[in-house]
Amino acid sequence: MKIYIVITLIFTGLMFGFVSSCKENTTMDKQKYNKLSTEEERVIIHKGTELPFSGKYNDFYEKGSYLCKRCGDLLYSSDDKFKSSCGWPSFDDEIKGAIRREIDVDGQRTEILCANCGAHLGHVFEGEGFTEKNVRHCVNSISMTFVPEKKDSNIAKAYFAGGCFWGVEYLFGQKEGVISAVSGYMGGSKENPSYQDVSYGKSGHLEVVEVTYDINKVGYEELAKFFFEIHDPTQDNGQGPDIGEQYLSVIFFNNEDERLTANKLINILKNMGYDVVTKLRPASVFWKAEDYHQDYYDKKNKKPYCHVYKKKF
């Protein structure tokens, strides 16, 4: 009997200690969350909705990241934000693993929540056709905190047009010191042109590659030389078999130093006997091309068909 009582007391004590420990951990977890205002709790905790067109991120397109207001986890990138005119911030993609989906209490919509803390964000819709991805995350501004993109003085961008952007992007992506090479459009008047707009000559844009590079590893002049060495700057109607205004050879310069550098290289090539037709134009708005154009040759496991490296300098 005494043994039974002792065992019972030990078991009860262990159970009590376990339950107490769990409660303490839960309390500690809650303390990690940011303190919310009454209105923030209404939306984030009690699954409310802010008034349309009232949120501060509705008509907001600065470069940066969007974090969960409650726990601070990363949710969305500004690269995936688009204008839908629905009254709430809209994204067509999420940070991988950041969003949890659940059937809404209305049984029809799909609710989206922070995967880390369960904060209510809004709803996700598909099939509306706003973007190529055909998805719209409709998010309450009050559920998020925006962190602007960190400006790094060592990072710079350059813009080159040398025919089909698939090949130019691929070769620049192999260049040491280049952080990223992105296919897109520049030089026309139409906002946010599509590939069809550009290829049919409706917008005046050229196929352009945005090269982001580390100035401590590679300089603008070296990049410009590389540009002249991966395409034919003497072809005046396009590049290789790709004929048309959108395929012309152009350097879009950001400042006078870049213009002078590019002009110097053109003169060097002309003195070497190259009849260079490359134009120099001031950089304007760069519009990123559709997703299926990005990393095209890597996706297809192929090599460029009209861009090859040939040393000229």
Catalogue the active-site residues: 138, 164
Give CA angle at 153 (151, 155), nearest 5°: 85
- What are the residues whose beta carbons fall under 8 Å from the beta carbon of 268, sequence distance 6 or more? 313
Instruction: Answer for the pair 146, 57: CB distance below 8 angstroms, yes or no.
Output: yes
Q: State whether the Cα torsion 278-279-281-285 is positive or negative.
A: negative
Instruction: Answer for the pair 304, 232: CB distance below 8 angstroms, yes or no.
Output: no
- CA nearest neighbour of 310 among 204, 213, 195, 227: 227
> Which letter does DSSP use for residue 151 in this model?
P
As a whole number of Å, the end-to-end CA separation of the chain is 97
> Which letter does DSSP use for residue 7 in this model?
H
Phi, psi of 160 (to 5 degrees): -130, 135
Q: Which two tokens stand for residue 14?
A: 């262990």
- Rg over CA atoms, the chain: 27
Q: Which two tokens stand for residue 173?
A: 């992506």
Instruction: Answer for the pair 82, 73: CB distance below 8 angstroms, yes or no.
Output: no
Helical H segments across 87-242, by residue range? 165-173, 195-199, 220-229
